[in-house]
Structure 1
Amino acid sequence: MNDEIAAPATDRIAIPPETLKMTARDVDVFYGAKQAIEKVSIDIGMDHVTAFIGPSGCGKSTFLRTLNRMNDTIPIARVTGQIELDGENIYDASMDVVQLRARVGMVFQKPNPFPKSIFENVAYGPRIHGLSTSKAELEEIVEKSLVRAGLWDEVKDRLTESGTALSGGQQQRLCIARAIAVDPEVILMDEPCSALDPIATAKIEELIHELRGRYAIVIVTHNMQQAARVSQRTAFFHLGTLVEYGETSDLFTNPQKERTKDYITGRYG
C-alpha cells in the first residue's frame, strides 16, 4: 500500500491515561483471503466523541465492528492485532463476549427495535444481565434510559405499544435507550442517521452531545459536516488503513496528509 497511507496516524492525539478507554494496535481484519483492514492503531478516550470518516468501502465500519467483536458473527472473518478495553484484551479466549457487548454497545445504521413493547425493548438487556432486583428497579432503569435518550416525554404514555410503531427517528433513539440501559462504557454508532430525515438527524446529534463524557462514543459517518458537528476527534480511513487521526477542528482545517486533504475538499469520495 501507499507509504503515506501506511504511516502511523496516531501521533497528533495524546489522550490522558486517566481518560483512555480503548486502544487498538496493529489491527488487521480478513474476510477469507481478502484483507479489509491493515495495521490500524488508535486510542479512544472517555472525554470525547470520535468520528470515523472515509469513502464507502474504506473499512471504517469493519474496524468499528472489531471494537465489540461483532465480526465474530461472520464465519470467514479473522481479526489479528491487539484491542484492549481498560487494559484488557477483548480478543482473549477468557473474554465473555456477551458481557463485552454489554460494556461496548452498538447502534446500527438502520433502527432495529425488537418486535416487543417500548418498555420491553429497553428492559430486555437489564433483565437478561440481572441488573435489576425488582419490578420497580427495572421500571426506574427503563425510565432513566428513555430520558437519557431524549424519548421519555414522547413515549411515557405508550410504553405498552410496539417499538416498531414509532417513527424512524424515535426507533433509533429507542435503540440508543436500549444500549444505554445495560450501563455500557462505550457506545458504537454505525451511521446512525443515514436512514433518518433532517429533523430526526438533528435530534440524534443533540443526543450525542448530551451523552458525551458519560460514555466513550465512536460514530461512523459518511457525512463530513456531521463529523464536524458532533465529534472532537476524527479518524480518516482509506483503502483499509487509518490515514490520519486528529482533533476534528485540526483535521478539517489543517490536514497533514494529502489524501485527507483530497477527501475533505471533495476530490474523491
Structure 2
Amino acid sequence: MDSTQPYMDTANQMETVIRTENIDIFYGSFKAVRGVTLDIFKNKVTAFIGPSGCGKSTILRCFNRLNDLINGFKLDGQIYYHGQNLYDPNVDPVEVRRRIGMVFQKPNPFPKTIYDNIAYGVRVNGLAKSKAELDEIVERSLRQAVLWDEVKDKLGENGFALSGGQQQRLCIARAIAVNPDVVLMDEPCASLDPISTLAIEDLIHELKENYTIIIVTHNMQQATRVADMTAFYNAKAVEAGKRFGYLVEFNDTQSIFQNPQEEATQQYVSGRFG
C-alpha cells in the first residue's frame, strides 16, 4: 500500500489516518449501515458508542477488511487510509490487516507459548532477520503491553496459562508486534474484571503515543476515560425486525458527553435509552 498526501483537519491541526465518506454496508440486499462519514485522527483514541445493533463493530471491521470474509457483505462509499482507497481492487487485504491490527472482545491467544504468540505474525511477515531481532521485538511488544515483567521468566509457557487480563494484554502485544499504524479494539474489556479493565485503559493511554486507536465500547464511562473523540451511533427499525445503523454525532469526547448537539445523543449519554 502506498501512502498519499495526508488529510488534515486544518482547524485543529490533526492528521486524518482513516476517512469514511458516506459508507453504506450491506449484507445481501439488507442495508445494515447507512451514510457514515467521519475522520479518524492520528495518535488519538476514538470511541464508537451506541446501543446494540447500531453497526459499531460492523464499521470497525470495515477498517481492516474483516467483513470481506462474511458472505453477502458489500460496501458502498469510500474508506481512505492515508488517502488511499482501502477497497481499491489493487489493495491487498492481508497488508491492510498488518497495518491495521485488531484486538477482539474475548482474549484469543493462540494455543502456543507466550513467546510464539508474539513471534507468530513477525515470522509470517518476515519482519525479523535473526533470532536476536525476533527476541528484541517480542520483548519490546510485551513491554509496550505492560506485560514483560509478569511473563519474562515464563515465555515458554502456554498463553492460556495467563489470567484473562493478562491474555488480553498478550493479544494487544501480539497485535502491535507487527508494527501496525492503527489498532482496532472491539470491546476489549467486556469479559474482564474491573481491575483488569483499568489496566487495559491505562495501556490504551500509553499506546496512543505510537498508534491510532479505535475502540468499540458499551461502557460510556470507559469512553469518557480513554477517548479523545467519540462517535455516537443509533439504530432505526425497518421491516421484519431488522434495524439499520447510522452515525448521529461525532465530536471530541467532552462535547459528546457534556454538550451534545443532537437530542438522541443527549438521551443516550444521560441513560434515557440504550
TM class by smaller structure? over 0.9
Tell me the SS of whatever aligns to 2:20. strand
Distance 1:35 1:266 in 2: 28
Tell me the SS of whatever aligns to 1:29. strand
- The corresponding residue for 2:249 is 244
TM-score, structure 1 as length reference = 0.93
Single out whichever of 72-81 and 151-160 deviates more from structure 2.
72-81
Letter matched to residue 269 of structure 2: I
Match of 1:94 among 85, 90, 94: 90
Q: What 5-or-longer segments of structure 1 have no aligned partner? A: 1-11
Deviation, structure 1 residue 89: 0.7
Distance 2:203 2:248 in 1: 29
Distance 2:270 2:39 in 1: 26
Distance 2:45 2:138 in 1: 24
Deviation, structure 1 residue 13: 10
Aligned residues: 257
Match of 1:24 among 20, 23, 27: 20
- The corresponding residue for 1:256 is 261
Letter matched to residue 13 of structure 2: P
Tell me the SS of whatever aligns to 1:226. helix
User: CA-to-partner distance for each residue in 1:116-151, whole Å, 9 max, x for gaps?
Assistant: 000000001111101000000000000000000010
Q: Is residue 143 of structure 1 aligned with residue 148 of structure 2?
A: no
Within a 5 Å distance, the mapping from 1:183-202 to structure 2 comes to 183-202=179-198
Q: Percent identity?
A: 59
Q: Is residue 217 of structure 1 aligned with residue 222 of structure 2?
A: no
Deviation, structure 1 residue 40: 0.4
Deviation, structure 1 residue 15: 5.3
- The corresponding residue for 1:265 is 270
Match of 2:40 among 36, 44, 48: 44
Q: Is residue 54 of structure 1 aligned with residue 59 of structure 2?
A: no
Match of 2:63 among 67, 75, 87: 67
- The corresponding residue for 2:172 is 176
Instruction: Report the CA distance shift for 1:14/1:35 in structure 2 as closer, same or farther (over 3 A).
Output: farther
- The corresponding residue for 1:155 is 151
Single out whichever of 218-227 and 79-88 deviates more from structure 2.
79-88
Letter matched to residue 188 of structure 2: P
**C-alpha RMSD over aligned residues:** 1.3
Tell me the SS of whatever aligns to 2:110. coil
Distance 2:12 2:177 in 1: 27
